[in-house]
Structure 1
């Protein structure tokens, strides 16, 4: 079975969780409920994004432990960096509003 890639909306929610606090929009379980993706997969995506942010020296306010999937000293993968980089300077309130919009729209149509 082919691996299901993360959608843009999932990446946006995971980016918020990596930078700020996933509980602001309902947490990892909210992403899981919308997508049916495993909790472990979502958590690892958030950790991978945190790792990318740390490598770029982007300030984070979350306690997410970064996970590169590489040995110490090696750079991690840059998967979805094209989406993540758009959100690194977005004000928290604007970013959270976008996350809540994704969640509300996704209640009707799964992301």
Structure 2
């Protein structure tokens, strides 16, 4: 998995949160400062209510993917606003972006979803 940097607003490099989460869940260990910052950056990206809605919509979508038009209408937000939220999640490595013709499709990166779930357990 590629290392992905997010905007400074979201805590700098996210790194490999699945590996960090696995280390943090091992009995007798605690997070290093760097690991805590990586996990906090990932959690900040997904903690926004609109982004949580987008994630749930993608999970519920056929084939767990959707284009920006499919995601915009149910949220009653403008397309640029939805695109902004999607871009932040792509930059953090939470979503995958794939261009097909004139449409851009988004899907969740399974490893990132697993890392988020591991953090919350």
- Normalised to the residue count of structure 1, the TM-score between the two structures is 0.32
**Rg larger in structure:** 2
Higher RCO (CA < 8 A, seq sep 6+): 1
- Normalised to the residue count of structure 2, the TM-score between the two structures is 0.30
